[in-house]
Amino acid sequence: MGRFQGLLLLALVLNLVFVCNGGTTSIFVRKDEKSVDMPLDSDVFHLPSGYNAPQQVHITQGDLVGRAVIVSWVTEDESGSNAVRYWSENSKHKKLAKGKTVTYRYFNYTSGFIHHTTIKNLKYNTKYYYEVGLEHTTRQFWFTTPPEIGPDVPYTFGVMGDLGQTFDSNRTLSHYHLNSTHGQTMLFVGDLSYADDYPDHDNVRWDTWGRFAERSAAYQPWIWTVGNHELDFAPEIGENKPFKPFSHRYRTPYKASQSTSPFWYSIKRASAHIIVLASYSAYGKYTPQYQWLEEELPKVNRTETPWLIVLMHSPWYNSNSYHYMEGETMRVMFESWFVKYKVDVVFAGHVHAYERSVSANILYLVNYTEPQPNYSAFREASFGHAIFDIKNRTHAYYSWHRNQDGDAVKSDSLWFFNRVWKPVDDST
């Protein structure tokens, strides 16, 4: 019987107890200090100098197959140019791509000029330099396109979620970013800035988060999933449209996978087919997301992309009392499909602690968090990031790097065997 593994990652609170029947509960418990937001004058939030200097630069995949990149950035003084100049490492020939500029208001906040420009027809496996802010202060960055899609193409993904902008967030991002063998693309499983924790959802905290994440997100694509902190639904201050700040600031290539919404879509990258789902958009029968997923799953070609990865925010398997069973309704809708289509791995966030579960089709009992349930294979009250390192069509190496006393420590790791190319009987 096919099964898939689910992983929940991430960042705050909670006290897991150590009794275990199912898998392992790590004895590590992070210091029970409340995570404190970095103050506005922190080094990681510094504005780049120069008139109308581009800030909050970030990139994401811009098409279905990895030959396009969406570059986004913000200018504050005036709109300025929305063009991106780019050239490949081995070429002196510079090209120009033009985009769109948007602004939005949220309660009494007015955004800067938010630019989104898609660069297309890139060569695979090539380093590109790019520049933004072409009329005034110009800043230069670079990225590397993925190799051409193929079944045995090795590729390394980083996985992170619930990042926020606390001192812990800085440790998590630094451990990922400063490790010389970090991932080539970030799978971000939702909850970006937590601006909604501030009075009136102070959107200035969306700007600071953009500047904080830039040191990674400007150089490798971050694949966006929406979480509950992207909702920014606040009718009490007249903000009735969910996802307003996120939608203006972050783009996804959803049309390329025939999706009708930026919150659910798919991409192919190297040897992986990645499906992004929206925990906070309707997914019941007959809804657009349900219909899209029903049509999407049979399209996945495991000969071309052996690895089928799903991202979502709210986990289906969570033995932590925090957010317990919030993912249950979506599990009921889609779990059997995931089994049928042999999803290899699901990455989710939301819980602010780490848990790796074993499989699908579990008996998920209400209130059953102790003893550790059988579906829970490893859990630990830690912040950190994960790496999913695809070696070929059969093998991927997964590791969890927790933050501890300022260092990154690898506390959970295992080989993943592809569900189609190397099925293993894990029914026991």
Ligand X SMILES: *[C@@H]1O[C@H](CO)[C@@H](O)[C@H](O)[C@H]1NC(C)=O
Return d(Cα 74, Cα 11) in angstroms, integer.
Answer: 27
| Phi, psi (rounded to 5 degrees) for 319 | -100, 15
Return d(Cα 116, Cα 130) in angstroms, integer.
Answer: 14
Which residue in 281, 392, 404, 411 binds ligand X (CB under 6 A)? Answer: 392
Residue (132 or 213) nearer to ligand X, CB: 213
Return d(Cα 161, Cα 353) in angstroms, integer.
Answer: 11
Contacts of 321 (CB under 8 A, 6+ apart): 14, 369
Taking CB under 6 A as the binding criterion, the range among 58-66, 158-166, 175-183, 307-315 that sits at the site for ligand X is: 175-183
Instruction: Establish whether 229 is a catalytic residue.
Output: no
24 binds, among Fe ion, ligand X, none (CB under 5 to 8 A by kind): none
Instruction: Quote the least distance from Cβ 212 to ligand X, whole Å.
Output: 9
Instruction: Quote the least distance from Cβ 173 to ligand X, whole Å.
Output: 8
The dihedral sign for the CA sequence 283, 289, 293, 295: positive
Which residue in 363, 405, 425, 427 binds ligand X (CB under 6 A)? Answer: 363
Element (H, E) at 62: none
The encoded tokens of residue 90 equal 């081995």
DSSP bridge pairs for 364: none
Which residue in 395, 411, 414, 420 binds ligand X (CB under 6 A)? Answer: 395
228 binds, among Fe ion, ligand X, none (CB under 5 to 8 A by kind): Fe ion
227 binds, among ligand X, Fe ion, none (CB under 5 to 8 A by kind): Fe ion
Listed in order, strand segments (DSSP E) in 50-112 are 55-61, 69-75, 84-88, 95-97, 100-102, 105-106, 109-110
The encoded tokens of residue 287 equal 């809804």
Q: Does 109 bind ligand X (CB under 6 A)?
A: yes
Instruction: Quote the least distance from Cβ 226 to ligand X, whole Å.
Output: 25
Taking CB under 6 A as the binding criterion, the range among 157-165, 314-322, 351-359, 363-371 that sits at the site for ligand X is: 363-371
Residues 130-156: b if buried by 16+ CB within 10 A, e if exposed:
bbbbeeebebebebbbbbebebebebb
- At position 61, the amino acid (one-letter code) is Q
103 binds, among ligand X, Fe ion, none (CB under 5 to 8 A by kind): none
Helix axes 167-178, 204-217, angle to 10 degrees: 20
Instruction: Quote the least distance from Cβ 415 to ligand X, whole Å.
Output: 8
Which residue in 49, 90, 108, 121 binds ligand X (CB under 6 A)? Answer: 108
Instruction: Quote the least distance from Cβ 193 to Fe ion, whole Å.
Output: 12
Return d(Cα 326, Cα 316) in angstroms, integer.
Answer: 8
Site string for ligand X, 54-93 (x = CB under 6 A): ----------------------------------------
Instruction: Quote the least distance from Cβ 220 to ligand X, whole Å.
Output: 15
C-alpha triplet 337, 339, 342: angle, nearest 5°: 105
Taking CB under 6 A as the binding criterion, the range among 8-16, 60-68, 91-99, 360-368 that sits at the site for ligand X is: 360-368
Q: Does 160 bind ligand X (CB under 6 A)?
A: no
* Catalytic-role residue among 323, 350, 352, 401: 323
Instruction: Quote the least distance from Cβ 26 to ligand X, whole Å.
Output: 16
301 binds, among Fe ion, ligand X, none (CB under 5 to 8 A by kind): ligand X
Biggest distance spanned by C-alpha atoms of the chain: 63
Return d(Cα 376, Cα 390) in angstroms, integer.
Answer: 23
Number of residues that bind ligand X (CB under 6 A): 29
By annotation, the residues acting in catalysis are: 323
Which residues bind to ligand X, rule: CB under 6 A? 38, 42-44, 108-109, 167, 170, 174-175, 179, 181, 200, 301, 303-304, 363, 366-367, 374, 387, 391-392, 394-395, 399, 401, 408, 410
